[in-house]
Structure 1
Amino acid sequence: MHEVSLCRQLAAAVTRATGDREVEVVHVDVGELRQVVPEAMRFAWTFVVKDTLLAGARLDLRQLPAVLACRACGTSTRLGPELGFDCRVCGSTDTSLTSGEQFVLTAVDVRTSIPTGDRADRSEAHLGKGDRDGALPSA
């Protein structure tokens, strides 16, 4: 089951990015050609993060379709269950896969604590809920 290996790598990346902050949700985009079984991935995640700083963090997987682009006629179509990478519109074999092979950590939601005395003072850098790729929250 390669989901365990993927979860180990993912947990290591999230831990490096968040340090000792409490992680609530880990967001990952997964292309449908990656052969990741979402239920198996979520199960592997709970097993991998058990007894770590990430314990209790939810794994949010967003499946992305496999999309084929035709260089001959310019159309993009979703790759279907049939075999073959030829264009379904014009029949050309001059195509390329533009989506479907991704495995991307897109965001991490961490719990941020705002001092109760002055909520306007946000001089300390925190990753906030929904902030992407280490971006600082806007003031």
Structure 2
Amino acid sequence: MHEFGIAEAILTAVENRADGRPVRLARVRAGAMLRITEPVINQAFSMVSEGSPAEGARVELVVIPVSLACGSCGHTDVSTDPFAVCPACGGTDIDTEGGDELVLESIQLAEAAHVPGHSRGDRGNPVGPA
């Protein structure tokens, strides 16, 4: 299952951005040529993220279409189906471009149960006595 490799790549990017903070959601743009779906990538992500700050996080998937060019009639189009036929002539002589992107667009951090310091005046943990 290639989804595990993709899930591991997403986890690496999420961990780099989260810097140890717990993550609730990762929004990912994935090209149609990767042929992944949100339920399957979430299942794989759940397995690879066990024990990490992203454990329990959900992946929100945005599929980026692939560009199609028909070799038979010259029609161009975009599709989220990597196995599309030409919508104009039904031909299968299709050249594709793009659709192989994998981009971590954003993460949503989980709320911390306790944040040290004073919420109105403190900008972090002071070093030394105050």
Same fold (TM over 0.5): yes
Q: Which has the larger radius of gyration?
A: 2
* Residue of structure 1 equivalent to 2:25: 25
TM-score (norm 1): 0.63
1:69/1:109 CA distance change after superposition, 3 Å: farther
Residue pair 2:69, 2:76 contacting (<8 A) in 1 also: yes
For structure 1, the residue ranges without an aligned partner over 5 or more in a row are: 87-95, 125-139
TM-score (norm 2): 0.66
Give, in whole Å, the separation in 2 of the partners of 1:20 and 1:59: 18
- Match of 1:43, SS state, is helix
Mapping 1:1-139, distance limit 5 Å? 1-68=1-68, 77-79=77-79, 81-82=84-85, 83-85=92-94, 97=97, 99-111=98-110, 117-118=119-120
Cα RMSD after superposing both structures: 2.9
For structure 2, the residue ranges without an aligned partner over 5 or more in a row are: 86-91, 125-130
How many residues matched?
A: 108
Residue pair 2:69, 2:94 contacting (<8 A) in 1 also: no
Shift of 1:76: 5.5
Please identify, of 54-63 and 36-45, the stretch whose mean Cα deviation from structure 2 is larger. 36-45
Shift of 1:111: 3.5
Percent identity of equivalent pairs: 22
- Match of 2:16, SS state, is helix
- Match of 1:54, SS state, is coil
Residue pair 2:30, 2:103 contacting (<8 A) in 1 also: yes
Q: Which has the higher contact order (CA 8 A, sep 6+)?
A: 2
Shift of 1:67: 2.3
Letter in 2 for 1:85: I
